[in-house]
A and B are shown apart, each in its own frame.
Chain A
């Protein structure tokens, strides 16, 4: 069984969020980039566990991005994976990216495509579902558990106020979140080994974008905190009732 893990490059969680070029571009000067945490901690690590358990034979990492995504792919390969592919294209349109992933998944006949539940920059939560539709495969979103035995996948996924357990067949697309696996810190051997793992570059397939980002903006600033003395906590409750009107 072959697994394709989708990897996205995102700004570090503590990165300062600002925009340039008349608010049309993320200001990336001096920003540190990381592997999108959901892709790394949950999708990638679960894929590696499935390989270690003898369920999967091969784990390929895939990103759709420009050459500056390669250091991120090496970071991910340091955690694990047999090889990597970069589709040489940049886009903010989920459908464009999903179409590239679907093309790679078809060409390589992957049995399982894993994504993180969303990226921490675009927060789309859309790629997995689009890939599944393009491949005409089942899709399980926001999954917290994934096991595979005898060609059947058993999963848990988040629902409003709880969890649903389900079974389905392969091939399959899953978006992964907390619960799926635990974060792994790469060791020296992994980091050294990652340098020589194959990283193939593919040119994109032709696809029309369905959306485009026109501009970014910052939310209105908070007007500042109103402090209440610790000696009169009941005053806070009065404010929440009479001023904020939330209780």
Chain B
């Protein structure tokens, strides 16, 4: 059986979970076994059944309120208990913020080999080999998992969400929930936009925009597209933009369907955080800017002239006046 950890926050299943479920159920089909999910904490029944839409036949749900706050130590114990009871052979996580905390703990707990940042289904022709990003997505490694039970943490946006239709059978379970040492005191969410790590479209600005007063250009284009905004490191360091928007080697690593880079030179450390984007568009006045080498589409031109015209064209396309 393939067990997928279906991650929730505030009772809502996270978007990255749908992708992990899609991956896990494809993997189960490949291995000729079933895919099941585990959900910890309060989530309504309709949302649990709806997980069947991503290919899982069964959802193990423990609604214990102890799971409503996240503690990797507690979550690990619970998932380890279920995995053992239910005989899971492969356990799948999204390599999101909770996956990065729980998957390694579970690996040490079960002595189960872990590959994190996986980008494809395993090759089972000779053992169990999973491809993952290494060197900040500048290369891939093929990792052999040597243990009987295996853990895969999937790189967000690497596999996609595949809806199959169908509802899952929900089973209430009672898993260990004790021993937690973490007390959550506050949660601060950036409101208004899709979290950068989950965004499908991202418009990003660099030092070429000269100053924070010009960010209207980036925001208007992003708004017209329905995109989230990001920036290069010097922009965040200069406090032109908040730190959570910084992408690159030392900031966030993202893999949206579309990344539009405006006035960003394309330094190797910047590319390290965005080179997994499916389509890259570069707007830069310097035809020699290194970013053009990593781009799919580009315009050599002045952002102050080009970007407002792009915004108008998007609005026209979408029928926004």
Contacts and interface: CB of A to CB of B under 8 A. Distances in A.
B310 A129 contact: no
Contact of A132 (B105, B115, B198): B105
A158 interface: yes
Contacts of B14: 160
A158 B243 CA distance: 12
A130 B73 CA distance: 11
A173 B298 CA distance: 44
Given A129-B100, A164-B70, A247-B258, A212 B146 contact: yes
Secondary structure type dominating chain B contacts: mixed
A237 B195 contact: no
Nearest to A244: B279
B187 A165 contact: yes
Nearest to A125: B100
A230 B133 contact: no
A13 to B, nearest CB: 5
Interface stretch (A43-51, A70-78, A215-223): A215-223
A128 to B, nearest CB: 7
A84 B281 CA distance: 46
Given A125-B116, A218-B139, A239-B297, A211 B146 contact: yes
Given A165-B188, A167-B183, A129 B198 contact: no
Contact of A233 (B96, B137, B188, B299): B299
B139 A140 contact: no
B140 A216 contact: yes
B299 A126 contact: no
A162 B279 CA distance: 26
Interface residues of B, number: 99
A169 interface: yes
Interface in A86-106: 94-95, 98
Nearest to B186: A165
**Which of B116, B145, B310 has the largest count of A CB atoms less than 10 A from its CB?**
B116
Nearest to B302: A230
Secondary structure type dominating chain A contacts: mixed
Interface string A116-139: 000011111111111011101111
A98 B100 contact: no
Interface string B114-150: 1111000000000001001111111111111111000
A77 to B, nearest CB: 22
Nearest to B94: A160
A119 to B, nearest CB: 9
Contacts of B314: 237, 247
Given A126-B107, A129-B72, A210-B145, A226 B97 contact: no
Interface stretch (B39-47, B205-213, B249-257): B249-257
A11 B181 CA distance: 37
A214 B134 contact: no
A127 B104 contact: yes
Interface string B285-320: 000000011111111111001100110111011000
B71 interface: yes
Contacts of B200: 246
B108 A129 contact: yes
Contacts of A125: 95, 100, 104, 116-117
B52 interface: no
A57 interface: no
A127 B310 CA distance: 44
A139 B101 contact: yes
Contacts of A165: 184-188
Interface of A: 11, 13-14, 17, 19, 37-38, 41, 94-95, 98, 120-130, 132-134, 136-142, 154, 157-169, 178-179, 209-219, 222-223, 225-230, 233-234, 236-241, 244, 246-247
3 shortest A-B CB distances, which residue pairs?
A230-B301, A161-B195, A129-B104
Given A138-B73, A230-B306, 15 more contacts: A13-B272, A17-B139, A121-B135, A122-B134, A123-B133, A123-B136, A125-B104, A126-B116, A127-B104, A163-B188, A210-B147, A219-B139, A222-B293, A227-B299, A237-B317
